[in-house]
Amino acid sequence: MQHLMIDVELMDEKHTAAITGLSAVFFDPTTGEVGKQFYRRISLDDCMSNGGTVSAHAIQWWLRQPSEVRSQILDDDCQDIELAICDLYGFIIENSDAKYIKTWFGCPSMHSKVIHHYLDRFAGQCFLEANEQSVITMVTIAEELGLNMNSIIKYDFQRNSLAHALHNIKIVSYIWMFLGIKNSMK
């Protein structure tokens, strides 16, 4: 599989944002098949001590979440940011070729810059920015074709980066297959 969905839970909108959740899932958009998965909860304290930034907006967002979502930040199983980023690097290198992998982000302008910042700091780059893909762009295309992705694929899962990555894979794969069917009918 040469498509990888990455999702992060961030505490700011800057490229230096503290990360509290990190996931990556290989998938095939032509079938929706999901491959190997990576998920880490990251220590907010450790991330901040390594320069991760936090915004008032993010804190307010987390405080508005249900208690089971808020408690993820306090999880004793959280990893240090350096270990989590090095693990992500290893996961990607072991399972793909950086020259060919298509890396998907829900919001590339925000998520990609944060991931690249931490990869540069702790591990090195393991995918090409030129191969980055956007879930937002796919949803915009779907809307132009008359599809309402919010009603087709409901956002009905507990908030964490792995669940969000899997949700985004469903969206991308649905649109990809829809475009394939539409194209084959011509």
pLDDT of residue 186: 58
Residuewise pLDDT in 10s, the chain (186 residues): 999 999 999 999 999 999 999 999 999 999 999 999 999 999 999 999 999 999 999 999 989 988 888 888 887 889 999 999 999 999 999 999 988 999 999 998 899 999 999 999 999 999 989 999 999 999 999 999 999 999 999 987 778 999 999 999 999 999 999 998 766 665
Q: Which residue has the tokens 């890396």?
A: 103
d(CA 151, CA 178): 15
pLDDT at 156: 76
Strands 19-28 and 132-134: unpaired
Residue of 11, 35, 1 whose CA lies nearest to 111: 11
H-type helices in 64-160, by residue range? 67-70, 81-95, 108-122, 135-144, 149-152
Q: What is the pTM of this model?
A: 0.94
Per-residue pLDDT, 183: 64
Q: What is the pLDDT of residue 11?
A: 96
SS3 185: coil
pLDDT of residue 141: 95
Domains of the chain: 3-184 (3.30.420.10)
